[in-house]
Copies of this chain bind each other. A is one copy, B any other.
Amino acid sequence: MTPPFLTPLSAQDLRAAGVPPEWRYGIRDRVRFSELDALNHVNHTAYLRWFESLRLPYCRAYGISDYDEASPDLVLKSVGATYHAPMFINEDYIVTARTTRFRRTSFRMEYAVFAPECRIEGFALVVLLQRNGEGRFPLTDTMKQTLIERDGAVAEA
């Protein structure tokens, strides 16, 4: 039996939870005690952990990486986050991801946390590398098409 948690929400569930339609990939989770800092709210780095946790199944689901020998290495070039409102112990939230832009060997993901209003937004610029250390790994046509069809991603020069 697949446990009914920590699995990607359907479009219907995302919409029912008030997540805007541009977000197509998200999961539910709950704030843990260990994510709080001495100020009693979620530490600013915890959200980047949430984005990281979501990035892995996202990249697998979108056909970008199976995290095996045939897959590219995914390397973070840069990340960022903007904090709209703090989060507290035991709050339930939905964390979402999508790709907004891609180039030949990189793509820009965006993230948001809804509880239910948008509390935090973030991004990551991900670069694809050959696993043998021989330079960049170009996004395949299938990968590009998936990013365009599912997320409305835009190709950049």
Binding site for B on A (CB under 8 A): 2-7, 28-30, 32-34, 36-38, 40, 43-45, 48-49, 52-53, 56, 75-83, 89, 92
Chain B contacts for A81, CB-based, 8 A: 78-80
With the chains together, A29 CA to B37 CA distance in Å? Answer: 20
With the chains together, A7 CA to B28 CA distance in Å? Answer: 12
With the chains together, A76 CA to B119 CA distance in Å? Answer: 13
From residue A133, how far is it (CB to closest CB) to chain B in Å?
13
Chain B contacts for A75, CB-based, 8 A: 83
Query: Contact at B38–A36, with CB atoms within 8 Å?
Result: yes
Chain B contacts for A89, CB-based, 8 A: 38, 56
A38's partner among B28, B33, B83, B92 (CB-CB below 8 A) is B33
With the chains together, A49 CA to B48 CA distance in Å? Answer: 11
Chain B contacts for A48, CB-based, 8 A: 44-45, 48
- Contact A33 B53, CB 8 Å, known A44-B79, A78-B83: yes
Query: Contact at B30–A37, with CB atoms within 8 Å?
Result: no
A82's partner among B40, B43, B78, B83 (CB-CB below 8 A) is B78
Chain B contacts for A43, CB-based, 8 A: 34
From residue A57, how far is it (CB to closest CB) to chain B in Å?
8
